[in-house]
Structure 1
């Protein structure tokens, strides 16, 4: 009863702001975001009884990180989402200061959530804390009850493992056993991932340190996720504290993956180099699931820790990326927006075979909640690209530039409006002089899928209402082979 009371209070708190937030100019139209107040990491992403469920870190009482609940949305198609009451509320002795991140698994026709219970033991949140792993169960996927056996993992293993930073369980089943990976770090602050196994989800045995950072690999690995793709094992994680190298790792924290092979008996992953899943500004804590079609789908928090978030002043902050299907080609993951996004398309505009130099705008190509599909034939020496969310009077624009002589693609949000600026760059080699950009613009976000998912760049931006123009530019003559534009319907 006390748990239900906490959840009811949380629901009431967000409903106070619901209408105001829904109407706000930066409120996203087709990305998952909270009804109001705070959102961060995706949790418990799964398919249960015919519907997709997505949970998330949620503080329902203010648009800032604080004592964390699990928010909850569900969908039949990954596009049209329904808000549900929070699934978990902190308050037990083992989770009184937060139900931190975790995952979901179906067992005996019930949905189990596995999460980290957090308790602050002092005022220094980096050092004075106790983290354990706990379970909650539901028959309908909506109302959850915490297990009496909680916590099911009470402490970190002995050895070179930090005793308190021990979180974000991702659970799955393999060969009739349940496994979980947990984010961790060594006593000397090197990121690592731990593996456990269980016969029943309740009693867990520590297997081994699955993987550990070497060199510039961060001081803590958060939100690990281990899965099979094309008969290879992929470990996704979010390393904190990776130092910038050239054009890479300029966000406060990173999110990416390594590919290799797992020895399940020994609990060891032999793997290759770390690669990013997104080369933009705002992408963290991705979590994946496998759906009934066999697709491996990822979703991530579309923000970054310690960034300025202008929507906080308006009662809300935080959002999720579009769901992305992961495809492994060789030793690289390609990311594609799930095909269901096409359901939102309306008012198609097409332009083809236009040659230009300098700068141009095309009829019907504008908007702030749209999809663009652009194919350019460019010369190696060309500097060309597209300016999004342009308002020349206000001096606002978000610019994507390809520098042919350098093989660099750049996303520049220094003039994007309110909020943080900055530039992100990635190396890009074209095939047959063709540059393909699939761009999703929402009210306060941009996601750029480059060359059919080879790379993605994501950014939160906060332009004015009049910043809706789009312009193409090139310092040499290039060809717009095709440019398609759709308005996208509101779906949440």
Structure 2
């Protein structure tokens, strides 16, 4: 949340080790969301209503009252309860200490019919027609549910007769998020309480069964307190994702300082628990992203926050560079292990695009089948990131274009299968389709490379993929970055900008 000039980030943390357990609400602060300072934890398990853990939740800034945290506590009977915490001292800009009032908590008990072992992660609340509203994620059998609760005073909460939304065969909905976006395609964000004909609404859920974040774009029927996804959005496993890689349990907030909505997502490790213990830490956050509705109104767009650019150092440029079949052109003059690369590729001709098989529904399977080294017509072309000199290790981020019956299908891959010589790692072929018009035959790609993270934004932020990789050879000054083309059609690098990235103030 943003409060009185400071960004506050609360996160699940084990102060006793880089493994799951002993979970507290850690607390960090920043003036720019890039340089962070760690404060003492905001909340420890300490009360009957959270004695076995302070789990995820949200903050809501109440007008003239300040911030209130809603969070899930686990009691001695392993029931998940929704609780309430307030700052001990509102005059402290860092809000170091938080109070969990005994006479109020828990504010929401799982009533009869609610699965008390699957009832968590309250959302930021919104104000409508004299009541605050919030959602709590849950499931019944295999139906994912976003229960709706209302309150006049933010203390006494009543469950609505119907959930805001639910969907069969989706299992547990973790970390639900519900917010408005402007229909106009404007990048400006909106306060969570904004409604009206000028907005659509987004419902995001983190599906425990798949460990991905899915969202739909739809209509909030305020008179019925129901949410209806548009017919362009699919609920569940085949739906749209914030990120088609290692990105989960995300949360958005409205930033009134710059009128934008920001999402942050958790990037988990892909190595073993033993490796985490040796490192002394586990799990990072992706770069904060601005999120807005694409002008096509079918999907969201995401882009790294502008403050990231303050870390940019030396810049190198490339333009009108042809990539013929089999070419590997090294991007020199930068530090490839820590770099921001923004490139626009131009496709000379789409005539030789491979035919798209309508049975190819799963982008990740398609990427695995047609990897970066499998020659195609238009593609594969893109970047070989974190590459060793002789390509024993590399993480390719690339496009491949197919011809369907009425249009072209663009696949974006971030394929970790060759990312490391080390055994025992999770090395998937992450991929997603990009809903983009190829009338101008251009495909933009921005990729943030940071030692063990490759975070990519394809089509101007329409499709995003975060990969977590652990090269053994391609580290520090031994890492290389190449532009490549393994398709038969020539591809031109119309423009490429790459910047060395300085180290921010880490969460110390």
- With the shorter chain as reference, the TM-score category is 0.7 to 0.9
Structure 2 residue matching 1:170: 3-state secondary structure: coil
In structure 2, what is the Cα distance between the partners aligned to 1:105 and 1:83? 21
- Counterpart Cα distance in 2 of 1:336 and 1:149: 43
Task: Sort the Cα spacing of 1:180 and 1:58 in 2 relative to 1 into closer, same or farther, 3 A.
Answer: same
Partner of 2:483: 472
Aligned residue in 1 for 2:149 = 196
User: Tell me, what secondary structure is at the counterpart of 1:171?
Assistant: coil
- Once residues 311 and 490 of structure 1 are traced to their aligned partners in structure 2, the CA distance between those partners, rounded to angstroms, is 22
Q: How much has 1:393 moved relative to structure 2?
A: 5.0
Range that drifts further, 409-418 or 130-139:
409-418
Name the TM-score, length of structure 2 as normaliser: 0.79
Q: In 2, distance between residues paired with 1:262 and 1:404?
A: 36
Task: Report SS of the residue matched to 2:164.
Answer: strand
**CA root-mean-square deviation:** 2.1
SS in 2 for 1:343: helix
C-alpha distance in 2, partners of 1:350/1:420? 34
Identify the range of structure 1 (278-287 vs 54-63) with the bigger mean alpha-carbon deviation.
Answer: 278-287
Q: Secondary structure at the match of 2:244?
A: coil
Aligned pair partner of 2:416 in 413, 418, 435:
413
Pairing 1:342-361 to 2, within 5 Å after superposition:
342-357=309-324, 358-361=327-330
Q: Shift of residue 402 of structure 1?
A: 1.6
* CA–CA distance in structure 2, aligned partners of residues 201 and 306 of structure 1: 42
Aligned residues: 426
Q: Is residue 281–residue 304 contact of structure 1 (8 Å, CA) maintained in 2?
A: no
Change beyond 3 A, Cα 1:450–1:414:
same
Partner of residue 206, structure 1: 159
What's the TM-score once normalised by structure 1's chain length? 0.82
TM-superposed CA distance for 1:112, in Å, is 1.4
Sort the Cα spacing of 1:371 and 1:98 in 2 relative to 1 into closer, same or farther, 3 A.
same
Q: CA deviation at 1:84?
A: 1.1
Aligned residue in 1 for 2:301? 334
Q: Say which SS state the counterpart of residue 444 (structure 2) adopts.
A: strand
Cα distance in 2 for partners of 1:427, 1:394 equals 26
Instruction: Answer whether contact 1:365 1:470 (CA < 8 A) is retained.
Output: no
Map residues 262-411 of structure 1 onto 2, 5 A cutoff.
262-272=220-230, 273-274=234-235, 275-292=239-256, 293-303=258-268, 310-329=275-294, 330-357=297-324, 358-378=327-347, 379-380=349-350, 381-383=377-379, 384-393=381-390, 395-405=392-402, 407-411=410-414
Q: 1:430 to 1:461 in 2, by over 3 A?
A: farther
Kept in 2, the 8 Å contact 1:326–1:333? The answer is yes
Q: Which has the larger share of strand?
A: 1
Unpaired stretches in structure 2, ≥5 consecutive residues: 183-198, 351-376, 404-409
Q: Say if 1:309 and 1:267 are closer, same or farther in 2 by CA, change over 3 A.
A: farther
After TM superposition, the structure 1 = structure 2 runs for residues 250-265 of structure 1, keeping only pairs within 5 Å, are: 252-265=210-223
Q: CA deviation at 1:359?
A: 1.5
Residue pair 1:278, 1:458 contacting (<8 A) in 2 also: no
Displacement after TM superposition at 1:430 (Å): 5.2
The aligned residue for residue 132 of structure 1 is 81
